[in-house]
A and B are shown apart, each in its own frame.
Chain A
């Protein structure tokens, strides 16, 4: 796809920068105030184990729970078709220390509910307070992992490109993650393990996009004899625009299919990635390149004698 006329991306970089800054600030404020709406994977909950005197249909149990105000329950069959385990999100109003005692009461209430609504006898085997499935450890790992990953990316890009590109890529990455998390926080969409996986995928996608653009910028800085940095960046963006749009389009094709036919389990994942892809596409045009320009990238920065020829020989 070659465009008949060039789009002046960089001419509008101030507007884009303002919008981005605004989005990031709103996201951070929302994350600080609202936090994220963590799913049962991340928060604590109550696990109630029941034994039915006859076979039980999970859907029925789910309906009974939903009709009586127990939303977001996870129901699992347990060994036989007469044993089930119900996982309920934690009651926010109760202190952590009292949750364990509370769990017993919740278990009895639910067992009674089942007895009233079904014709079979229901035995409460046990009810426990369950701490977060991934909890602190994963949050810690995630945070640490993110920092180490950012460091390694910066070093690699600094070696392959130039340090200014490292900053550009990392800023773009942070921009994408903060805004995606911000949208999840703002609309209080559930953040569960699938959404976490989507966040990791966004890192991959956003980087991929940024590198493709950065690669063109590097190539044009080396090849083109005339033109200001702004013009050269703008030209590079126009050259990669076709590819950027097609890749985003095919990825979005996949994601919308998952969103509409994928069912509940993957919905959060699809929404997170759709937001991430849209923002990632935008940031590869506006964030990474603008940061590179702001750091006054020059032709000399990229004239480091890298043996391009050596790589090309590897090309099949």
Chain B
């Protein structure tokens, strides 16, 4: 029993240790609180710097390191308090076309930055972030449901060959006018089966027999609830998809959603992500000779050129019926976008497309954007006024090749188009448009002080554990401690590498992992002591100890890993943060506690004659001999 690792194994461990060190060290460098000054139209100049300096000095802000970087100015300040005062001062000093944003400036040395080593982002609970209040346009959601119903009503009337005129009145009432009361009662009995969510009312206007259909109050409530829920989910997924980790997306009141993006100190960046507020509509291309009022004309821009398309006003399908859209490659290796609808969406699209094979279907992306204008109020002062407007874009114009169902695909695209279209469809499957009604940057809260204390506590605890291990397991404890430290470094390295955000639940995950990493070593060392107590020579005791403990450690870690994986798949927000750290920690601790300590023990004891091991006290061979 030599207990020696081959050179490559030792070198590998050394390499991992060095990488762990380099890539986790940036986390020790506290970012400087800073203010970012930018201007949308031009670069920040020296004269702006002078204005800023004067303003900051007048406001008695403690600042240092004012620099111009890529046309933006960064001012580093001493404290959060200074940062907020500096923001106020600069906002007063500059006109409103300048953007003054709270920011954090890295302090990592240049050589680390050049290696790509960066700090982990911290959650809103550890550090401030951007806060948005978004309002969901419920009226639009209800209008859209009525549009759906109108299309369905028309197609039923066509199928039943009942002559009538259907339209939506201002108060979201669906009005169907018939020529005779027989037609009306026939249609009504047909509708009652098809629209359980509507209330019906007969009315006579002059010569025509009118049927009024309105949504029941329960249905309206349900639509509002569903819409908010759908918007929330989509927002959450979109923010996730764009790499802002652990956002808070919370409901406020009946039609508002609060979005908090931790770690993001630049609201402009977040707005770019969130303002892609969009909805989708599927339409047919208008038949030639349709009345001018029944279609709108759009430009369809493709790499091959621009095409003019007349899109019918009838909506086949709304974006909220889309479950998923992915780009991929079809069986002929051609790019495609596969779209999956929900059951009702499948029925809707089938009804329309089966009668229109060979004709064209169009997808419109409707984006709600806002622009700020300066207007004069009644006192003659200039005030900012935000105006919202819709921008419609034709993102797909494709020939219907067969009656479509719940799953269909769009082919004949370039790979780039397929990708863009899938992304746009996913982003657009929000069930109602939203607008940002309030935005702000949150400074660190009162809890930050508590968290500092929390960090100190974890450090103190780590020192206590290290001392205990050293006292209890002597030289072996030393190896375990080295492994423990490497493990923490590796967790930070991996988390930084995958751009994870550190949150309080994340720290909790690390604490648990540290506990379990020590546990692996306790298991191994207890086994080695047992072997020694049973009279095994030192080298064999080491080998047997590691071998026997391995399956226990493996089983314990695999089960915990599975739990973490389930939590990650199902959970969002804090649950995810916790499970990511736990999973990373399990993998790194398996490496450090087993391979890492073994390498050190081998270096110390391996390949030579050893009489005793420095592993603390163990009983003599006699007392537990009955074990075998």
> CA A132 – CA B573 in complex, angstroms?
14
Q: Give chain A's interface secondary structure class.
A: helix
Q: Are A207 and B560 in contact (CB under 8 A)?
A: yes
Q: Residue of A at shortest CB range from B565?
A: A152
Q: Does A157 contact B (CB under 8 A)?
A: yes
Tell me the minimal C-beta distance from A92 to chain B in angstroms. 20
Tell me the minimal C-beta distance from A249 to chain B in angstroms. 8
The interface residues of chain B lying within 8 Å CB-to-CB of A243 are 519, 522-523, 526
The interface residues of chain B lying within 8 Å CB-to-CB of A78 are 131, 440, 442-443
Q: Are B457 and A266 in contact (CB under 8 A)?
A: yes
Tell me the minimal C-beta distance from B122 to chain A in angstroms. 14
Q: Residue B563 contacts which of A203, A253, A264 (CB distance < 8 angstroms)?
A: A203
Known interface pairs A254-B514, A315-B546; A141-B508 also in contact (CB < 8 Å): no
The interface residues of chain A lying within 8 Å CB-to-CB of B432 are none
> CA A62 – CA B449 in complex, angstroms?
14
A-B contact count (CB 8 A): 265
Q: Are A145 and B447 in contact (CB under 8 A)?
A: no
Q: Does A204 contact B (CB under 8 A)?
A: yes
Q: Are A266 and B248 in contact (CB under 8 A)?
A: no
Q: Mark B221-250, 1 if CB is under 8 A from A, else 0.
A: 000000000000000000000000000101
Q: Residue B454 contacts which of A2, A251, A258 (CB distance < 8 angstroms)?
A: A258
Number of interface residues of A (CB under 8 A): 88
Tell me the minimal C-beta distance from A105 to chain B in angstroms. 16
Q: Are B573 and A265 in contact (CB under 8 A)?
A: no
Q: Are B88 and A208 in contact (CB under 8 A)?
A: no
Q: Does A171 contact B (CB under 8 A)?
A: no
Q: Does A263 contact B (CB under 8 A)?
A: yes
Q: Does B509 contact A (CB under 8 A)?
A: yes
The interface residues of chain B lying within 8 Å CB-to-CB of A152 are 562-563, 566
Tell me the minimal C-beta distance from A28 to chain B in angstroms. 23
Tell me the minimal C-beta distance from B441 to chain A in angstroms. 5
> CA A132 – CA B251 in complex, angstroms?
8
Tell me the minimal C-beta distance from A41 to chain B in angstroms. 9
Q: Mark B467-510, 1 if CB is under 8 A from A, else 0.
A: 01100100000000000000000000000000000001100110
Q: Are A257 and B84 in contact (CB under 8 A)?
A: no
Q: Does B201 contact A (CB under 8 A)?
A: no
Q: Does A74 contact B (CB under 8 A)?
A: yes
Tell me the minimal C-beta distance from A239 to chain B in angstroms. 8
Tell me the minimal C-beta distance from A208 to chain B in angstroms. 5
Q: Does A20 contact B (CB under 8 A)?
A: no
Q: Residue B578 contacts which of A81, A200, A214, A246 (CB distance < 8 angstroms)?
A: A200
The interface residues of chain B lying within 8 Å CB-to-CB of A205 are 512, 515-516
Q: Mark B616-628, 1 if CB is under 8 A from A, else 0.
A: 0011000110011
Q: Are B526 and A1 in contact (CB under 8 A)?
A: yes
Q: Residue B582 contacts which of A134, A145, A204 (CB distance < 8 angstroms)?
A: A204
> CA A82 – CA B574 in complex, angstroms?
30
Q: Does A100 contact B (CB under 8 A)?
A: yes
Known interface pairs A76-B442, A81-B81; A207-B573 also in contact (CB < 8 Å): no
Q: Are B450 and A77 in contact (CB under 8 A)?
A: no
The interface residues of chain B lying within 8 Å CB-to-CB of A59 are 446
Q: Does B555 contact A (CB under 8 A)?
A: yes
The interface residues of chain A lying within 8 Å CB-to-CB of B505 are 193-194, 197, 200
Q: Are B248 and A156 in contact (CB under 8 A)?
A: no
Considering the complex of A and B, which 9 residue pairs feature the smallest CB-CB distances, nearest first? A263-B453, A265-B450, A257-B461, A81-B84, A263-B450, A262-B457, A254-B461, A197-B505, A79-B440
A-B contact pairs, 17 of them (CB 8 A): A4-B619, A55-B85, A79-B87, A133-B248, A137-B572, A138-B573, A201-B511, A204-B582, A212-B523, A243-B519, A246-B522, A253-B465, A261-B460, A263-B450, A263-B451, A316-B546, A316-B598
Where the two chains meet, the residues of A that have a C-beta atom closer than 8 Å to any C-beta of B are 1-2, 4, 47, 55, 58-59, 62, 74-83, 100, 128-135, 137-138, 141-142, 144-145, 148-149, 152-153, 156-157, 160-161, 169, 193-194, 196-198, 200-201, 203-205, 207-208, 211-212, 214-216, 219, 223, 239, 242-243, 246-247, 249-251, 253-255, 257-258, 260-266, 269, 308, 311-312, 314-316
Given contacts A133-B250, A152-B563, 18 further A-B contacts (CB under 8 A): A4-B619, A4-B623, A58-B446, A75-B446, A79-B443, A131-B252, A141-B572, A157-B559, A204-B564, A205-B515, A205-B516, A207-B559, A243-B522, A253-B465, A254-B511, A257-B457, A266-B450, A316-B594
Where the two chains meet, the residues of B that have a C-beta atom closer than 8 Å to any C-beta of A are 5, 9, 81, 84-85, 87-88, 131, 248, 250-254, 256, 258, 440-447, 449-454, 456-458, 460-462, 464-465, 468-469, 472, 504-505, 508-509, 511-512, 514-516, 518-519, 522-523, 526, 529-530, 533, 546-548, 550-552, 554-560, 562-564, 566-567, 570-575, 578-579, 582, 594-595, 598, 618-619, 623-624, 627-628
